[in-house]
Amino acid sequence: MGRFRDALAAPGLGAIAEIKRRSPSAGELRPDANPALIAASYADAGAAAISVLVDERFGGTWDDLRAARAATAAPLLAKGFFRTADDLQTAKNSGADAVLLLLRDLDDLEATALLAEAARLHLDTLVEAHDAEELERGIALAAPILGVNARDLSTFAIDREMQLELVARIPRDRVVIAESGIDTRAQGAAAELAGADAILVGSALMRAPDPAAKLAELLSRPLVKVCGLTRDEDVAAAAEAGADLLGFVLVPESPRAADAVLATPNDTLSVAVWVGEAGSSDADLDQVHTIEAGAVRGREASIRRGDEEVARLLDLPWSGADPGHWEHAAAAAGRVVLAGKLGPENVADAIAAVRPWAVDASSSLESAPGIKDHARVRAYVEAANQP
């Protein structure tokens, strides 16, 4: 495979950052966009690849792709409504490493022919599906890179739940891209946990005052979790402070037990916290702690999306000190959620030592059990998000 696929298949969540001046759904985004400057800034901000709209309906031309190619060595995706071998040849001649193939516009014979032509030209292909039927076609066509677009191209409506469901169905030997509908770090993480190797982001970047800074924000880690929430006002304060994950302890014995998972903004992820096994809730994720004699919960937990473990939480014991806790966490494989007496005063040091996927704080952010101190919540999130 080519370097576009290789870049997207790298460990961690990657991003295809898009350059487009306007959108049929959003209207004018950045009419004066300079593709050379934006492409270079995207590459500097960590884009795995860069998508360039070459269709006039999006304010794009082939010259935009050529300008981006001259400005960066990053893999480039030519994005348009391609139906012929000539389209692919033009993309290749203009500097593309990959092309978009929309299954909505292609039958299986046409898609097969274009996949073969792309291979002949040494172009990777991003084969895009919008629903379950198209996805099954893409899988059957043995497309190496499959994208699921959350946007209905007829109505422009966004359905992220459908996108995540379809992303989770794709065989793990394919490179998986979640396209559209991603405006926040938590939404990108939701796609990652569903099985996406990368996200394709366009409008959210082009609307931002600084597109490259927005890209860096979406890709930045660790995520920040505020746990032990019991009141709507505390949920709102944590979300406004910039927390990505909002945790609700559904263990009656806990001093910060919640009656249920409260309503959370759709640009965050909710986490239900259990001991022993997960129950039923409306949470996006379950955090299931081990059972430990003499304690309300064990020091480790499995973070699950449905039945699949997607991360591990590593915590201090309920009482006592563990001077090797950060070192143990730093050596752990996979996605690590670091907990254990974290707060505004030490979270930055913990992040520097461990480089976790997420950090989690609860009791240190309280004025009383289950009652959050909003100033400390803001200070913790700010400290965790320091560059």
Return the closest-CA partner of residue 141 out of 106, 98, 100, 108: 108
Q: Each residue of 259-282: pLDDT tens digit?
A: 999 999 999 999 999 999 999 999
For the segment 27-50, the average pLDDT, to the nearest whole number, is 95
CATH number at residue 310: 3.20.20.70
Which of the four pLDDT bands, split at 50, 70 and 90, describes residue 24?
confident
The whole-number pLDDT of residue 178 equals 98
Residue 210 shares a structural domain with residue 228: no
Contact at 8 Å (CB) between 15 and 219?
A: yes
Among left, alpha and beta (phi > 0; psi -120 to 50; other), residue 133 is: alpha
Contact at 8 Å (CB) between 65 and 55?
A: no
Residue 97 shares a structural domain with residue 193: yes
Residue 180 shares a structural domain with residue 283: no
As for how many domains the chain has, the answer is: 2
For the segment 7-31, the average pLDDT, to the nearest whole number, is 92
Q: Which of 219, 253, 268 is the last residue of a domain?
A: 219
Q: How far apart are CA 149 and CA 163, in angstroms?
A: 7
Sequence-separated (6 or more) residues with CB below 8 Å from residue 350:
326, 338, 342, 356, 359
**Residue 102, both tokens:** 């929309």
Q: What is the DSSP letter of 151?
A: B
Residue 141 shares a structural domain with residue 246: no
Residue 250 shares a structural domain with residue 215: no
The whole-number pLDDT of residue 353 equals 97
Q: Is 319 a residue whose pLDDT tops 70?
A: no
Q: Each residue of 98-142: pLDDT tens digit?
A: 999 999 999 999 999 999 999 999 999 999 999 999 999 999 999
Q: Which of 219, 244, 263 is the last residue of a domain?
A: 219
The whole-number pLDDT of residue 317 equals 78
Length of the chain: 387
Q: Which of 154, 184, 219 is the last residue of a domain?
A: 219
Residue 199 shares a structural domain with residue 254: no
Residue 372 shares a structural domain with residue 241: yes
- Residues paired with residue 177 on neighbouring β-strands, in sequence order: 147, 198
Q: How far apart are CA 186 and CA 232, in angstroms?
A: 19
For the segment 49-73, the average pLDDT, to the nearest whole number, is 96
Domain that holds residue 235: 223-384
DSSP-based three-state secondary structure for 167: helix
Which of the four pLDDT bands, split at 50, 70 and 90, describes residue 27?
confident
Least confident range of 32-41, 47-56, 248-257, 290-299: 290-299
The whole-number pLDDT of residue 2 equals 92
For the segment 317-344, the average pLDDT, to the nearest whole number, is 91
DSSP 175-238: EEEEES---SHHHHHHHHHHT-SEEEE-HHHHHSSSHHHHHHHHH-S-EEEE----SHHHHHHH
The whole-number pLDDT of residue 1 equals 67
The amino acid that residue 249 corresponds to is V
Other Cβ atoms less than 10 A from the Cβ of 348: the count is 16
Residue 338 shares a structural domain with residue 350: yes
- Share above pLDDT 90 across residues of the chain, in percent, rounded to a whole number: 89
Q: Is 370 a residue whose pLDDT tops 90?
A: yes
Residue 212 shares a structural domain with residue 270: no
Residue 41 shares a structural domain with residue 131: yes
**Residue 52, both tokens:** 């360039």
Least confident range of 22-31, 209-218, 244-253: 22-31
Q: How far apart are CA 223 and CA 240, in angstroms?
A: 15
Residue 157 shares a structural domain with residue 281: no
- Share above pLDDT 70 across residues of the chain, in percent, rounded to a whole number: 99
Q: Is 318 a residue whose pLDDT tops 70?
A: no
Residue 206 shares a structural domain with residue 326: no
Return the closest-CA partner of residue 212 out of 17, 72, 42: 42
Query: Is the whole model's pTM more than 0.85, yes or no?
Result: yes
Q: Each residue of 165-200: pLDDT tens digit?
A: 999 999 999 999 999 999 999 999 999 999 999 999
